[in-house]
Every structure is written in C-alpha cells, then in structure tokens.
Amino acid sequence: MKKKRKRYKIRIERLAFSFSVISMLILLVLNGAISIFSSSKEKINDTTLLVKSKPSFVVCIDPGHGAYDRGTESADGVFEKDVVLKVGLKVGQILENNNIKVVYTRKDDETILGSDDKEDLRKRVQIAHDNKADVFVSIHCNSYKDASIKGIELWCDEPNTKDELLAKYIQDELYKLKYTEKRNMKYQSNSPLYVLKNNDAISTLVEIGYLTNKDDSTFITSKNGQAKCAEAIAKAILSFKESIKK
C-alpha cells in the first residue's frame, strides 16, 4: 500500500512538473506574439505618420493671354500668347521632372478661360486656389511705344515678402542669361494686378522681355531663347522651394 502511495505521489509530481513546463512554454509563445504584434503595430503607425507628414509642393504656371487674346506682338508678327505658352510648358516639364506637382491655367491656345478680361483673370486665380498651389507664376512679354526699351521685369505684391523673394530668384536667374537688362522690381502699389492681388499662393508675374525691342524679341521668340528662359524660371522656383524649406 505504501509503494502504491509512493508511485501515486511520484506521478502527481511528474504531472505538476509537466504542467509547469507547458505553462511556461505557452506564456513564452504568448509574450512573443504580443511583442511581434506590438512591434508591427508601431511600424504601421510610424509609416502612417510618415505618409501623412510628407510635404507637397504645388506650382501653378500661368502662360498669359491665349486664344482670342493675343497679347502684345513683335515687329515680325509673333504673338505674346504663343511665346509665353511655349516657355510655360517647358517650365512645367522641368519642374515635373524634379517631382514637383504642376498645374497650368492653360496648356494650349484653344482654352478660353473667360469671355472678357475680368472673367479670364478670375478663372486663372481660381485654378491656383482649387489646386491649393503654393506658388503661382504668370509669364508674359512686355511692350512699349519706344522700341529702345528692353529688359526683364518682375512684379510682386509687397516688399520684404515671400512673393518678392520668389520674384528676385526668377529675376536673377533670367539676368544670368545676359540677353537683356534687369529692370526695377514692380509692386502692387505701382499698379495692382488681379492675378497677384487676389491670389492665395505666393505669386509673381514675370515679363521675360520686350517684344517691341529687336534684341529682346530675337531672343525670346527663338527656340533656344525660350528653352533658356524656361530653365532659368524653373531653376529659380526650385531654389525658392529649398530656401523656404530651410
């Protein structure tokens, strides 16, 4: 009887030991699973935060005039609307190649934004607003009754603003091409421009040269000149983007 009790006691002790070992293994497995789940959850949350905080930069390119509105004209019959469209599309292409989101107020000569000047300008600003543009650059050619007048001219809202900084970047890059003169910066106080005054985006208007001046016209109506102007404007926008990020 004592032997049976002894054997029975040994069996209970072995079962208790086995149960203890199994319990420890189960706990280890569960802890490992919880740890993996927590780690995975943390990674997912980190990734989600990274995506949400990823910065975006939108540039609205506005080739002035278009369709029925020819803008100014060179002595040999080249219209402003055609020059600035070619330059604007090239600027946009360069920016897109640098992973910048670009929207255009027009990409062809058939687009009619408004039946009159006021409606046309309002819709250009609306396109920038609807696309939450960070930067708005309106591209134009200049003209004057005195054909000797030439140069690069930039317009912006007020002095000592990001608008002026963007304008200066563009002015400086264009002037590096040495095809014409650098004219003084123009501000809204001189003559309010609708696309600058009513824009949410950091805005500037660039006159790349005078179509009424022979030297300016020869450069800005040429394929090479348009490509260089586009490269200069795009480079300035990219430099401006980096400067405000810092």
H/E segment holding residue 205 = strand 202-210
H/E segment holding residue 169 = helix 162-175
Note the pLDDT tens digit of each residue in 171-214. 999 999 999 999 999 998 878 899 999 999 999 999 999 999 99
How far is Cα 245 from Cα 87, in angstroms, rounded to an integer?
26
| Core vs surface per residue 149-176: b (16+ CB within 10 A) or e | ebbbbbbbbeeeebbbbbbbbbbbbbbe
Give the end-to-end CA distance of the chain in Å, rounded to a whole number.
89
Note the pLDDT tens digit of each residue in 1-21. 444 444 444 444 554 445 454
Cα-based angle 87, 178, 228 (whole degrees, multiple of 5): 25
How far is Cα 30 from Cα 91, in angstroms, rounded to an integer?
58
Q: Pull the structure tokens for residue 186.
A: 């123009």
Q: Could you tell me the pLDDT band of residue 30, with boundaries at 50, 70 and 90?
A: very low
Residues in contact with 30: Cβ distance below 8 Å, sequence separation at least 6, in sequence order = none
Q: How many CA atoms lie within 13 A of 189 on its CB side?
A: 3
| 45, pLDDT greater than 80 | no
pLDDT number for residue 98:
97
Which of these ranges, 47-61, 116-130, 174-188, 229-243, has the smallest mean pLDDT? 47-61
**What number does CATH give the domain 58-245?**
3.40.630.40
Cα-based angle 205, 235, 135 (whole degrees, multiple of 5): 45
Parallel, antiparallel or unpaired: strands 202-210 and 153-156? antiparallel
H/E segment holding residue 223 = helix 223-245
pLDDT number for residue 244:
92
* Confidence (pTM): 0.78
